[in-house]
A and B are shown apart, each in its own frame.
Chain A
């Protein structure tokens, strides 16, 4: 064995030793159950001691013909397409604004962060009140500025998803603002000082220093938001319950109902595989993009 090989083995071992504490727990408590349920996607099982039956791709074929699956798939995409970019931009801007040394900064940060920690039950209840079509403050405001027929929000199939999207952005941008704030701590003030000397204005500093240096964070935020959007459930559950009709029914609603209303665990897993594949593709793109853009590595 050459010393180079030895070094390689040693390096590997040291590397594994770092990930091991997490890897062991993660494998036992998360990875194994996940694998098991993914195998279920080619089975038929009702969650009892009744035997599992191998059905091949039958569950996936059923998915294609299921109108509720189609609707929840499209709803999920719609939700993600609006929520992800708006939240990324909003949280980045907020973080830049709140990374200044101004008075009362802690109060502002806390108030932007508040929606993230507030209990969903209360949040759902109050937003439904705000969106109330006849007496709600939002529509009162819209009428006051001259919109005669404001949307009926949560009691309209056309607008309910938009209402959910607004609340999602409101609730989650505070957290991603924090992530960005943490990342901004890593940018050396010297860079901004140098730019100021060169006569760069605020916009140019943002465009040529802040945004490029935050790329790894932006990838992370986009990635997490995408996953979160595809997994959205609780918020919709407390606001609209998937309604009116099926207009805010999303993939996880579908999965949940397949497992706990229909007791069709194989079918639920098949739907989860679809979700999994989408995220896998997005992740791979992200990996590629990260290698291309991140200059530090």
Chain B
């Protein structure tokens, strides 16, 4: 009985020795930190030293959207250390689901990736209610121009709006000049947009310039169908999607946009298509402004670009757009609720909004001032400042408890329509049936 255990022990010892050797040149304290990272965090929380606050982020290294706020907060609160748990964007929600299910003390502050997960976390009681904090500190929710109320779940606030993004129409000025066509205006219908796209499609073979670009997201067709605010993507009757799918399929057939199947199989990222000057226009979210500015700064691209307000359906006022909010919330099991609230309040404040604007990010508070700050940045196409303004804003997806499931179905049917396996009518019919199955209509 003893022998195998002795053998096992010696095996483990051998293993530790081997890795011990591999680590020779790293300082000793580094190793111990590795092993006990968790406990140390909790210790510092208890003793009188620096207080620690844990926040969750995604893709933290490439965008300043979180790091700018974290840095500003640490500067303002020298006694607080903010620990970041960073995950890739694709897996962020999954990791959060597992962490929150374990009900551990961390994370304290959560940036919520989409409104669907806000709803599910709130209904699972994984987020702290903020109404008391808001009342106590007299936080004025009107600065968010209605966004804070839109984020409420069953009349309660679980989050504050941190970022706001909406769709605009990017264009490549050089390609428009080459084609001798006037730049897109801030007031176009979708029909006029298609007309324009046909005019700026030119060239052959590998030099071909496509008039516009539809990335593979289902949102880039369905968004325009919900732009008038009459329908949402969770519906009993999806016939309202038909004209928009007809347009997308027509443009694909006529070679105005790149072939969906090719984009999908070659895994082509929309930013490379635009940066490589293969398309003259591209509807995309405001987050791409920062990407383009960065690319111009680094010298990766050097063509002239700009953006216009997103086109609108016939009969809808110019400047109506579609977008989404990024809320910030507090984990229900946090051991430092007051500090976490301090951070959330700071992150969503008007003051921080300016810091974000300096980094090319549109916060939950939009003011003339923050637009001015963004527009004055280097490499921002300054004459496009007006295109940042919108008159009406609808969410790309409704706060619905089944939204993620419905989106899976939308994605699948979108796929089938765009590769030509289904006609539009077949796709819409199956979509309707499957959503009815989920929603129990």
Contacts and interface: CB of A to CB of B under 8 A. Distances in A.
A119 interface: no
B101 A21 contact: no
Given A21-B8, A48-B124, A157-B416, A244 B421 contact: yes
A129 B4 contact: no
A292 interface: no
Given A157-B416, A245-B415, A129 B97 contact: no
Interface string A223-244: 0000000000000000000111
Given A48-B126, A260-B94, A129 B405 contact: no
Interface in B374-430: 404-405, 408, 411-413, 415-416, 419, 421-422
Interface string B258-290: 010110111100000000000000000000000
A52 to B, nearest CB: 12
* Majority secondary structure, B binding face: helix
Which of A14, A18, A263 counts the most chain B CB atoms within 10 A? A263
B1 interface: yes
Given A21-B4, A48-B124, A49-B125, A125 B434 contact: no
User: What's the interface size class on A, roughly?
Assistant: 35 or more
A21 B5 contact: yes
A128 interface: yes
B415 A128 contact: no
Contacts of B412: 242-246
Contact of A47 (B8, B97, B266, B419): B97
Contacts of A48: 100-101, 124-126
Contacts of A21: 4-5, 8
Nearest to A135: B262
A128 B411 CA distance: 19
Interface in A255-279: 257, 260-263
* Majority secondary structure, A binding face: loop
B437 interface: yes
A286 interface: no
Interface residues of B, number: 34
Contacts of A245: 412-413, 415-416, 421-422
Contact of B266 (A132, A261, A263): A132
A109 interface: no
Interface in A20-37: 20-21
A115 B412 CA distance: 29
A244 B218 CA distance: 13
A154 interface: yes
Contacts of A154: 264-265
B309 interface: no
A133 B261 contact: yes
Contacts of A152: 261, 419
A67 B413 CA distance: 15
Given A47-B97, A244-B415, A262 B265 contact: no
A238 to B, nearest CB: 9
A165 to B, nearest CB: 17
Interface in A43-90: 46-50, 67
24 contacts: A13-B1, A21-B4, A47-B100, A48-B100, A48-B126, A50-B125, A67-B437, A125-B267, A128-B265, A132-B262, A134-B262, A136-B265, A152-B261, A152-B419, A154-B264, A155-B261, A156-B421, A243-B415, A244-B415, A244-B419, A245-B421, A260-B94, A261-B408, A262-B405
For the complex of A and B, list the 10 residue pairs with the smallest distance between their C-beta atoms, beginning with the closest. A48-B124, A155-B261, A245-B416, A47-B101, A17-B1, A128-B265, A244-B415, A155-B419, A261-B404, A243-B415
Given A20-B4, A246-B412, 7 more contacts: A48-B101, A50-B124, A135-B262, A136-B265, A155-B261, A156-B421, A261-B405
